[in-house]
Amino acid sequence: MVLQEKREIIQRDSYMNEITKNQKVIILRDGTEIWIEKDRAENFGDQLMKITESKFVKIDDQIINTADITGIFSPETLEEKVRRKRGQWYCTSCKKWHDRGERCEEVRIPSHIAKFLE
């Protein structure tokens, strides 16, 4: 990936973080995403957990079957899923995402080995 493309992705991701920070996404079985405000999503989730059988519900101008809902997720959870699907991996040493095949510059020595280096 070229440096300019990475900059554009970072800018777009930053912009999307501002838009989605107070939203949640309802994911349907077919992959459809329905974005709604966080408060409405939490209220909808509470109602969803109380029903005992599937039924049709209206969300904004959409009518969906509750049986088709796979979950209500935060933007962070969805972003993580998308990044992993693109082949990226999260490094716990440097706390950054890396592209597939990219090595992290941070070298983390496992604790059971580090004690012998002291």
Q: Domain-by-domain residue ranges, the chain? A: 3-86
* Local confidence band at 94 (pLDDT 50, 70, 90 cut-offs): confident
| Calpha distance 4→42 (Å, rounded) | 38
pTM: 0.65
pLDDT digits (tens, 9 = 90+) for 36-91: 999 999 999 999 999 999 999 999 899 999 999 999 999 999 989 999 999 998 88
pLDDT given at position 106: 72
| Mean pLDDT score, 29-36 | 94
The rounded distance, in Å, linking the Cα atoms of 103 and 66 is 42
